[in-house]
Amino acid sequence: MSDTLQNPPSKATPMLITVERYHGAARILHWIVAALVLATWPLGLMIGFAKKEVSLNFYLVHESLGFLILWVMLVRIGTKLFVAAPAAEEAPAIERFAAAAVHGLLYLFLIIMPVSGFLATNAHGFPLVWFGLLPVWSPIGKTPDIAWTLSAIHGYSAWILLGLFALHIGAVVMHHVIKRDQTLYRII
């Protein structure tokens, strides 16, 4: 899918630039996941600081949003399998490698994170009732022997995901502000 953007290098000589964009479904799913993560991650961090009487509400919303991220990511992966991405921009090999590595790890941890969180809460004996409405089947039930391991995986994954997010945003800034190329326009 190609869109033409008006991007004048100067006011005197306007120039039309064609940007190969990601498919609309891929762009929408990208921004849905981004919004959900930006809501879910800080909410999870705040649970430890919430008063006891409201902490379960924080857990419910955090877990429900996390479970939603899992399903949106699965749809996103399915979309990625069936909808071709635009051709890669010209870039040095190290940048292409870094971009592929960070994107791959983002996808991986956006699956590990909600799965480990879902399994951890189940293992601690708190099955998910999605947004307080829909009970979600627990594949493991209460399993105290592995609960803390799953919680640790979830916690470490959160910090790894934050680091990957920082690298991703750093690349956005590098492309849009420093290099002033069209990379950002491919996903918006």
pLDDT tens sequence across 67-103: 999 999 999 999 999 999 888 888 899 999 999 999 9
Residue 65's SS3 state is helix
For the chain, the structural domain boundaries read 2-186
pLDDT tens sequence across 33-66: 999 999 999 999 999 898 988 988 999 999 999 9
Please report where in the chains the tokens 């909600």 appear, as a residue: 114
The larger pLDDT score, comparing residue 128 to residue 1, is at 128
Residue 5 pLDDT exceeds 60: no
Please report where in the chains the tokens 């705040």 appear, as a residue: 46
Residue 24 pLDDT exceeds 50: yes
**Separation CA 64–CA 130 (nearest Å):** 5
Q: In which band, very low, low, confident or very high, does the pLDDT at 2 lie, cut at 50, 70 and 90? A: very low
Look at the domain 2-186 and name its fold: Fumarate Reductase Cytochrome B subunit (1.20.950)
Residue 129's SS3 state is strand
**Separation CA 103–CA 33 (nearest Å):** 13
Q: Hey, CA dihedral for 176, 182, 183, 187, is it positive or negative?
A: positive
Composition of the chain by helix, strand, coil, percent to 5:
65, 5, 25
**Separation CA 28–CA 34 (nearest Å):** 10
Indicate the pTM of the whole model. Answer: 0.87
pLDDT tens sequence across 163-176: 999 999 999 999 99
